[in-house]
Amino acid sequence: MAVPGVGLLTRLNLCARRRTRVQRPIVRLLSCPGTVAKDLRRDEQPSGSVETGFEDKIPKRRFSEMQNERREQAQRTVLIHCPEKISENKFLKYLSQFGPINNHFFYESFGLYAVVEFCQKESIGSLQNGTHTPSTAMETAIPFRSRFFNLKLKNQTSERSRVRSSNQLPRSNKQLFELLCYAESIDDQLNTLLKEFQLTEENTKLRYLTCSLIEDMAAAYFPDCIVRPFGSSVNTFGKLGCDLDMFLDLDETRNLSAHKISGNFLMEFQVKNVPSERIATQKILSVLGECLDHFGPGCVGVQKILNARCPLVRFSHQASGFQCDLTTNNRIALTSSELLYIYGALDSRVRALVFSVRCWARAHSLTSSIPGAWITNFSLTMMVIFFLQRRSPPILPTLDSLKTLADAEDKCVIEGNNCTFVRDLSRIKPSQNTETLELLLKEFFEYFGNFAFDKNSINIRQNPFETSLNISKNVSQSQLQKFVDLARESAWILQQEDTDRPSISSNRPWGLVSLLLPSAPNRKSFTKKKSNKFAIETVKNLLESLKGNRTENFTKTSGKRTISTQT
């Protein structure tokens, strides 16, 4: 999301008490009978040990193990639209008659909803058998047996209490800036921003549940299909409020139906054939789009975008509040998600730096939720990863080094693309680099803002596996120049704070907050000092680098040293 009204920060007395720990609200995870109640306080960690996110909450296990566990949980879970005022104890007592409950939570999105996970999958069947299809005098309901329910009270005046719901969106800008100004250091600011923006446990569960609900509908056509989330929802770089990307995986259907041999006979299914896989994809998505539009509870605004490079169905899942994109057999995107998951789990600094750079870019309109000539969040993420790979010693290993650690089980080729890399996190040696986040942030801006374009070029063809896909080809000349200018200016601001850091009683924004402010006429902009000739040459070299082919690191070409960003 953009950072509207960020300029108001200069009129707020936010930084005068920045070393006083702010009392943040408590987010209560509503537990159920038979489980341990956990009150997670968002501000109980001492200074300098701010929880850095995903790697502290979930053990470092394989991506596939995490996916399978989440999917199994989602299959035991139901989504219930509840009355605004409801007794939590009576609600749980009612549901417990269908089977023991593992956990639950409430959230708000066009009303109050409950996500309830049963201990056994069979409990859902019992609940469905005790549920009826609504009927009205003016309309006719389309009967559909799903795991999305609507709970009504027989006596509307009997319930007075109101349950507490978990938050599914990040804090307001004012609240965020207050937290950042109260931080002890720039490292603390970056970790705080990560903590406030990253997906919560409840939000992650809701994303997998949404995919599971869509899978139920797709299974009517493809009984063994799996609808898998990918991208920011699973790679640990997702921000609260981000879209939900999912794909229909039909590989299980193909595998189950392959080579069923009995004696001298080979039995095959009768199927319809089409000229190409793309046409098959378009037909499958077209049918699923119609199904979601006409029969999918809570699915609204369905759009079938079938002529895109990657055909998809776009819709809003009103109950969860997610904007969803559904594709089919997009396994290479899931593999890219797994690679980012590994990079995010290897070092706690990776995600903190990525989240801060993305926030900085959005604050200055370098990125946008609307497709156009802007740099994408994926491009920024790959730039951060490449930067961390080039530290001395490296903070992250290159993709080539991850390939050398791979064994036979890790071998993977998708559509002719080599997607082999080690999946076991325990086999990757931790980095010996001890640089602070403050130093890394400053040097990231210096690296990409003051790169010697007259001597070196950067190939930012950064898709790790589809090497022929240039993910930055949409970036315009003006946006490239804007990125370079803002990177130089941000590096200069952080350098000035090294020698002129605001005092405790100062009213000035500082650290990461100062980078989120829009450029002001009275600010000593570093970019004004560079010549127009150099600016033109910078953009020219950047544009030329976009068109170049991938080259090996430090290969001499025509007297110019070329550096590849192959991750």
Per residue in 482-491, pLDDT (tens digit) is: 888 999 999 9
By the 8 A CB rule, do 349 and 337 touch?
no
Task: Kindly give, in sequence order, each residue whose CB lies less than 8 Å from that of residue 80, ignoring residues fewer than 6 positions away.
Answer: 113, 114, 115, 116, 148, 149, 150, 151
User: What pLDDT digit, counting tens, does each position of 25-71 carry?
Assistant: 333 333 333 332 333 333 333 333 333 333 444 447 899 999 999 99
Which of 187-191, 235-239, 368-372, 523-527 is the least confident region? 523-527
> Is residue 171 helix, strand or coil?
coil
Among candidate residues 336, 57, 53, 341, the one with its CA nearest the CA of residue 197: 53
Work out the pLDDT band at 473, boundaries 50, 70, 90: confident
Report d(CA 220, CA 213) in Å as an integer.
12
Q: Which amino acid is present at 566?
A: Q
Report d(CA 518, CA 276) in Å as an integer.
50
By the 8 A CB rule, do 437 and 352 touch?
yes
> Is 462's pLDDT higher than 50?
yes
Would residue 35 be called left, alpha or beta, if left means φ above 0 and alpha means ψ between -120 and 50 degrees? beta
> Is residue 113 helix, strand or coil?
strand
Q: Report the predicted TM-score, pTM, of the whole model to 2 decimal places.
A: 0.81
pLDDT at 93: 94
82, β-bridge pairs: 112
DSSP 209: H
By the 8 A CB rule, do 163 and 88 touch?
yes
Reading the block at residue 64, the tokens are 């596939």
Report d(CA 98, CA 118) in Å as an integer.
9
Tokens 């098959």 locate to 280
By the 8 A CB rule, do 165 and 183 touch?
no
By the 8 A CB rule, do 458 and 554 touch?
no
By the 8 A CB rule, do 234 and 343 touch?
no
Longest Cα–Cα distance in the chain:
87
Task: Kindly give, in sequence order, each residue whose CB lies less than 8 Å from that of residue 545, ignoring residues fewer than 6 positions away.
Answer: 457, 458, 459, 460
